[in-house]
Amino acid sequence: MHKNIVSMLQDNFINVFNVKDQHLFFSPGRVNLIGEHTDYNGGHVFPCALSFGTYGIISKRNDRKVRLYSMNFEDLGVIEFSLDYMVYDKAHDWANYPKAVIKTFENHGYRTEHGFDILFYGNIPNGAGLSSSASLEVLMAVIINDLNNFNLDMISMVKMCQEAENKFIGVNCGIMDQFAIGMGTEGCAILLDCNTLEYRYSKINMEGYKIVIGNTNKKRGLADSKYNERRSECETALAQIQTVKNINSLGELTEEEFEEVNIETSINIPLQDLLYNIDELQDHNDKDIVIYCRSGHRSITACNLLAMEGFNKLYNLERGIIDYLK
């Protein structure tokens, strides 16, 4: 850990809580190299942990009170709650995440007996899609595991962190973020099967290369984004496909099986590749062409692109393949 950061945290902890007995913890952020929106569909992902993340300094208390302070949300001040009353409170904002982990541990029989004071600091940009919330969750899990001598293995803690976000926070995230943070190792990415949790490390030689993380100035937070909506759509698609295929997740569907649940004689062209593969459709220019996608939105764009290329017998399948399969 960087000595300047550690010294800063220690000084701020004393200023906020007026306590000198401290223990320092760290949890990384993560970036996903391959496999967006596949973790909750039981597919494979290829994330790696980052060298920056979330720091936590803790001091144990003799009562049941928990006091939390974040240097990233200084305007919210110290947030307090009792271990005897842990419920979601909108006013507690970011503090609901560590609270969720403590409560989830308790639900599984791992009860925290004594309260504590914690100061948090993260150098992960908030809302940047680098899993600042999952980093905070895993950090809290490691802290209370160590504080209470629960001796839990990391994968068990990772599962409970995902459960905390699903059930307490209300975000139906997959397990990739927590798994990558908890199981990340230096110099490696993780090839993870999100359906079975089988994984293996893959060495990444970054000599001469850099991972570039771009800032779009668009904040990304799972709880207030369309993430839950996208997951719900995937679950709807799965339910429809299960009427004709015996699968438990979309990740189990092979390319051949996917083609089987498509409309017969259809041609599968990703929207971003449509204009590059226009030759595949030229022989059908004088015929009626029905364009469809999952929900009927991207197919509208596809119709407009083809119209500009001279196709004039175009029809959009409203509400997409999901509604069609009904």
Kindly list the catalytic residues.
Answer: 177
Query: Can you tell me the distance from the alpha carbon of 3 to that of 9, in angstroms, rounded to the nearest whole number?
Result: 10
Phi first, then psi: what are they for 16, rounded to 5°?
Answer: -80, -45
Q: Are 139 and 25 in contact (CB under 8 A)?
A: yes
- The two tokens of residue 114 are 């004594």
Q: Which helix (H) or strand (E) is 247 found in, with range?
A: none
In 61-172 the beta strands, taken as DSSP E runs, fall at 65-70, 79-82, 116-122
Tokens of 136: 């905070």
- CA 282, 285, 290, 295: dihedral to nearest 10 degrees? 50
Question: Does the CA dihedral 167-168-170-175 come out positive or negative?
Answer: negative
Contact 26, 54 (CB under 8 A): yes
Nearest to 202 by CA among 48, 53, 35: 48
Contact 97, 151 (CB under 8 A): no
